[in-house]
Structure 1
C-alpha cells in the first residue's frame, strides 16, 4: 500500500463541490462528506472521478 503525499492532501478538494476531503488511510480513500462520496487511492494516486467514487452509506463513519 503506497502512502499519499501529505502536501497533495492539502490542495485536493472534491471535484463536485470544491470542499475539503478527509483521508481514510485504512481504506485508502478520500472522503467528501458533503457529496457523500469516497474517492479511491490506487498506488498512491487519488482517483478523483465521480464514476470511480463509491457512495457512502447513511450510517458510515469516516
Structure 2
C-alpha cells in the first residue's frame, strides 16, 4: 500500500491518524483501538468491518 495514501487517510470515527500494522497490513487507529482491513490493496474504512485491537495496557 502506498505510504502517501496512509498519510492522507484518517479514522472515520475520530478523524485521527492511522498506522499500518506490520503483522497483517491492517490500518490501525490507536485512539479508537480499531484496525481497518486492507483487501487487494484497498483500505476498507467501514466501522462495521473494523476489528478491535488489544494494547499492552488492556
Normalised-by-shorter TM-score class: 0.7 to 0.9
Give the Cα–Cα distance (whole angstroms) in 2 for the partners of residues 59 and 43 of structure 1: 29
In the alignment, is residue 39 of structure 1 matched against residue 36 of structure 2?
A: yes
Aligned to 1:21: 18
Which residues of structure 1 form unaligned runs of 5+?
none
Gaps of 5+ in 2: none
Rounded Cα–Cα distance in structure 2 between residues aligned with 1:58 and 1:7: 26
What is the alpha-carbon root mean square deviation over aligned residues? 1.5
| TM-score, normalisation: structure 1 | 0.82
Higher relative contact order (CA 8 A, sep 6+): 1
Q: What is the aligned length?
A: 57
Partners of 1:58 and 1:21 lie apart in 2 by 15
